[in-house]
Chains A and B, each alone.
Chain A
Amino acid sequence: MDLFRLFNRGESSNSKDIAKERLQLLLIHDRANVSPQFLEMIKSEIMDVITDYIEIDEDGFEFKLTRTKRESDNSTIPALVANIPIKKMKENIR
């Protein structure tokens, strides 16, 4: 068992790592106190603005609250992450 773990180091197969990971993500939502509806509202407004200029894959549009490491001090901070797949630029606007 210990030998197995020796070769498996780095990968988080330990249940405590799963717990920590889940908690860190969960607490970002708890602390920010944002409802899914609220996030959905921001998402649709951002989508409105972007689609004026760019044709995007609306089904592939991802928008979520997550966490990231701040470069200055390496601390974990909440982050809004949007992934917006572009189909093509709208020529007539430019």
Chain B
Amino acid sequence: MGEVIVITSGKGGVGKTTTAANIGTGLALEGKSVVLLDADIGLRNLDVVMGLENRIVYDLVDVVEGICRMKQALIKDKRYTNLYLMPAAQTKDKNAVNPEQMLKLTKDLAEEFDYVLVDCPAGIEQGFKNAIAGANRSIVVTTPEVSAVRDADRIVGLLEAHGLRNPQLIINRVKIDMVRRGDMMNIDDMVDILAIDLLGVIPDDEYIVISTNRGEPAISDSKSLAGQAYKNIVKRILGENVPFMNLDPEEGFMAKLAKAFGFRRK
């Protein structure tokens, strides 16, 4: 029986789908069998982030309604043999399925896969309730902005109210220069405010845009800093104790000097 992990945030546009795509790919790279389940019915995007948008025949709603078998709606990834996507329907809305149906679907998927990653829609209504219905673990994605943190806090409360204890936090799009200047909340500030366990920190990285353009998650590219951060997150999900990437704003004098002269530490 696999694990069902829901990736949620409350606020839209903080990187839930990108996170789902990268963690899913990362787990597959580690040899796990993974299915990415897009629960954002009506506004699906996981397919396009994964570069699988041209292969969709059936979707999640077709499975729930019994129009096709579960396996028919599973799209095999282009690169990794043990990675699959079950897309959301694009022409229906969030009320097309209910939490009981989602519970059954995720349970059936967990029979076949090591990990079921559910990409949750923004908001706290039906779509959210559907996405968390079958989860036994939850990840909250936020960015270091007041609006995103406020919504994340609300989501943490709702997850706990639905019996999902210990949600884990991913802080996305951290701009190191701004943190250094004191114009962006740092990791300690965020953990202090939200008071939940930290799963990982993703630096703001242009490479995410480039990899999304291509439909290939950044985690498979060793040049991407964000990809590296996602790799660390995957290892932590698998139970490894990986130290957090050094995004410390207080650099040592020598490091500053080296930087001023254009040397980069490796």
Contacts and interface: CB of A to CB of B under 8 A. Distances in A.
Interface residues of B, number: 18
B193 interface: yes
A16 B153 contact: no
A8 to B, nearest CB: 11
A86 to B, nearest CB: 37
Contacts of A5: 182
B154 A23 contact: no
B193 A20 contact: yes
Contacts of A14: 181-183
Given A22-B146, A23-B146, A27-B150, A16 B157 contact: no
Nearest to A17: B182
Nearest to B151: A30
A94 B23 CA distance: 70
A20 B189 contact: yes
Given A16-B189, A30-B154, A31-B157, A23 B184 contact: no
Contacts of A31: 153, 157
Contacts of B102: none
A35 interface: no
A15 B181 CA distance: 9
Interface in B122-164: 144-146, 149-150, 153-154, 157
B153 A30 contact: yes
Query: Would you call the interface of chain B mostly helix, strand, loop, or mixed?
Result: helix
Contacts of B184: 16
Given A19-B146, A22-B146, A27 B183 contact: no
Contacts of B193: 20, 23-24, 27
A78 B144 CA distance: 23
Nearest to B184: A16
B22 interface: no
Interface in A24-80: 24, 26-27, 30-31
Contacts of A30: 150, 153-154
A22 B193 CA distance: 11
A15 B146 contact: no
Interface of A: 5, 14-17, 19-20, 22-24, 26-27, 30-31
11 contacts: A14-B181, A16-B184, A16-B189, A19-B145, A19-B185, A20-B192, A26-B150, A27-B150, A30-B150, A30-B153, A30-B154
Rank and list the top 9 A-B pairs by shortest CB-CB distance, nearest first.
A14-B182, A16-B185, A15-B183, A20-B189, A19-B146, A27-B153, A16-B182, A23-B193, A23-B146
